[in-house]
Amino acid sequence: MKEKIITFFQDVVKEMKKVTWPTKDELFESTKIVIVACLILSAFTYIVDMLINQVLKGIF
């Protein structure tokens, strides 16, 4: 059991060395894209909600 745990962590270290981490600039650009996408999706959801609300007020 102890050997399996040690082997697991050795494998984790090997795999983590293969990871290519983003640079600060890449991370900053990705973050901006995510924030803008969230704002657009939020605005779209708000507009659709308001439209549905108005339609339902007109029906009832």
pLDDT in tens, 15-47: 999 999 999 999 999 999 999 999 999 999 999
> Is residue 27 in a domain?
yes
Q: Is 10 a member of any domain?
A: no
Cα dihedral 47→52→55→59 (10° resolution) = -160
Phi, psi of 21 (to 5 degrees): -85, 145
- The whole-angstrom separation of Cα 34 and Cα 40 is 10
Contact between 37 and 29 (Cβ < 8 Å): no
Question: Using DSSP, how many helices (H) and how many strands (E) does the chain show?
Answer: 2, 0
37 domain-assigned: yes
Domain contains 12: no
**Domain total in the chain:** 1
Is the pTM for the entire model greater than 0.85?
A: no
Structural domain containing residue 32 = 20-60
Model confidence band, residue 60 (pLDDT cutoffs 50, 70, 90): confident
